[in-house]
Amino acid sequence: MSKDYRESLSCTWVYRDAESPKGSPASSGGVTMPFDSGGAVRLVRDTADNSDEVAGREGPSELFPAAVTAEGTLKQTRARPDFCLFTMAYFFGQASSEASGSGAYKHTISPLADPDHPSFTLCRRHGSSVMKERFSHNLIKGFTLKLGDAWVGMEAEISGGGKRDVNYEKEIVAAASNATQLTLAANAVEGDTAADRLENVRLVRVKPDGGNAWTTVDVSSVSDATPAVLTITPPGSTSAVADYEVFYHPSEEAWCTPPATLDESPLRLVEAKLVLDGHFDGSTVTGGITLGGDMLSCEVRGENEIELVHVPDASGSLYASESWRTARSVGVKLSRRFRDIVRQAQLDANETMSLLLKIEGALIPDGGGARFGFDIVFPRVGVLDAPVSANEKVLAEEGDLRVLEDPTYGLGRVIGHNTVDGYL
């Protein structure tokens, strides 16, 4: 079967359980999640050249790999509860879960005081197995939760240490230029059938008979033995030994198989509501004013300043081995119809308020009345600015809110329900 490079055949899976220690790939709590097109994690390579050297030449002559990190964005325009809770758990840093009925779990997510945040493992299949890669030591650098025209959307920004595993190998096999077979050092080639194994040998090349030019070697079959034996058309005419470079996919490890997808419905705009000026008692919010149809848009934005550290640990590895949160901030962009002067008066008086964003979907079967979704509670929010403007010929207040630390309840918390038994 020929490998298909269409993006729609790609998939991404994450592990909900935190790595212990950081950089040690997690193997439990895996789930395949659907994401918008274009979202992925990639290596960021820090590579220097020697153009700054005075060495009797004008241009550079060498490249020096210095370090790697990872970065990327995952987005669901139609967000599922699992992705939202996963993102906020790793953003805020700590979560506790308890059963809620026989088929549901309640999750309480709160800010971690320790700057040493938990990390997670993420895997990606490109196309129909063109390539698979696993990234360890990933952290949520930021998130944006947005109430769109019809759906609740979630976007997660990832910053990672850059530790990466792949499902391919480049191996050098020494054999005669007129050889008819090549035997790998130790690996079998991935594939249950002869056609699959042949497809998984991507390229064999050699400079035969002591020549200087690469010659592509024709491979006619690949055995199912360990190590695999490749039958080839002899590229040369002499028995001179040459180094054959073999690019192939070895037998896949367990992490290369995507886990199952959780069956959850996306969250809709009509399932959300925003309440201001209520009272939070540590578990629930009472009272307050529900904006309802007066709310034109709402966006919650969280940012962690993540510092990735490369340390002199004598490992020779280019990826970062430590990470820290140096600062955290959360803000809310809120646009509402300008019907009264209450918020303007609060702004004049530098008054703070509470904010509850409640997003609830369908009832969870056997969930004791719990619904898929979550509450975001910020006990203390201040208004940075609230200019009056025109929004489609309607007067609107464009509120720029900053989440503040409450002396009793801190920055806030997220209380969610779904069928996952825990995060972190």
pLDDT in tens, 387-409: 898 887 889 888 899 999 999 99
More confident residue, 348 or 136: 136
- Smallest Cα–Cα separation from 383: which of 413, 354, 340, 412? 354
- Smallest Cα–Cα separation from 80: which of 369, 421, 374? 374
pLDDT for residue 118:
96
Instruction: Examine the pLDDT at 1 and tell me if it is beyond 60.
Output: no
- Smallest Cα–Cα separation from 46: which of 314, 247, 308? 308
Q: Tokens at residue 376, please? A: 């975001």
pLDDT 10s digits, 176-201: 999 999 999 999 999 999 999 999 99
Across 24-38, 82-96, 222-236, 382-396, least confident range: 382-396
* Model confidence band, residue 102 (pLDDT cutoffs 50, 70, 90): confident
Only one residue has tokens 């650098």, namely 141
Only one residue has tokens 């097109």, namely 37
Rounded to two decimals, what is the model's pTM? Answer: 0.93
A 10 A CB-CB count for 228 gives 24
* Model confidence band, residue 281 (pLDDT cutoffs 50, 70, 90): confident
* Model confidence band, residue 293 (pLDDT cutoffs 50, 70, 90): confident
pLDDT for residue 154:
98
* 37-63: average pLDDT: 92
* 164-175: average pLDDT: 97
* 201-222: average pLDDT: 96
Instruction: Examine the pLDDT at 269 and tell me if it is beyond 80.
Output: yes
pLDDT 10s digits, 323-335: 999 999 999 999 8
Only one residue has tokens 């010659």, namely 215
* Model confidence band, residue 3 (pLDDT cutoffs 50, 70, 90): confident
End-to-end CA, the chain = 38
Average pLDDT, whole number, for the chain? 93
pLDDT 10s digits, 231-265: 999 999 999 999 999 999 999 999 999 999 999 99
Partnered with residue 415 across adjacent β-strands are 108, 375
* Model confidence band, residue 349 (pLDDT cutoffs 50, 70, 90): confident
* 32-46: average pLDDT: 94
pLDDT for residue 279:
84
